[in-house]
Amino acid sequence: MKFKGLLLKEGLNDLSVLDLIKTTKEEKWNIPNERLANFQPKIWTAILFEGEGKKVEEIVEKLSKAIKEKWYINVSFNNTEYVIFNNKIFKYEKGDDKTKQEAIGYGRKVGIPEKQLDW
């Protein structure tokens, strides 16, 4: 089984982490000003990716070290969701609204705009 995820290239400090995953799709997103924070560029490079399920924990850990503060990455594997922040990972089963809300609250705390906390 494979894990799947979505990251924004502009949110990475270390692009070498891209070598650890297989990009399945890459596209440019022109983000409306009302959804942007002042530290974010107007155009984002969205990367959909996948990897071997047996490596999901290792990859998630490396992604948490590669991402900038105030950004996050989503990864799904089987019934498990990962929300990855800079040096912080929330892992929960689909339907676990309590942990999902904790991740959203953490995102608010670190300065991610409310309109981007919609996973």
Residue 6: the pLDDT is: 98
pLDDT at 100 > cutoff 90 = yes
pLDDT in tens, 55-93: 999 999 999 999 999 999 999 999 999 999 999 999 999
Provide the residue ranges of all domains of the chain, joining segments of one domain with +. 2-113
Residue 119: the pLDDT is: 84
Residue 87: the pLDDT is: 97
Q: Are strands 2-8 and 43-52 parallel, antiparallel or unpaired?
A: antiparallel
pLDDT at 14 > cutoff 90 = yes
Query: From residue 116, how far is each of 3, 15, 31, 32 by CA, in Å?
Result: 22, 22, 11, 12
Q: Which secondary-structure segment (H or E) carries 85? A: strand 80-85
Q: What is the pTM of this model?
A: 0.94
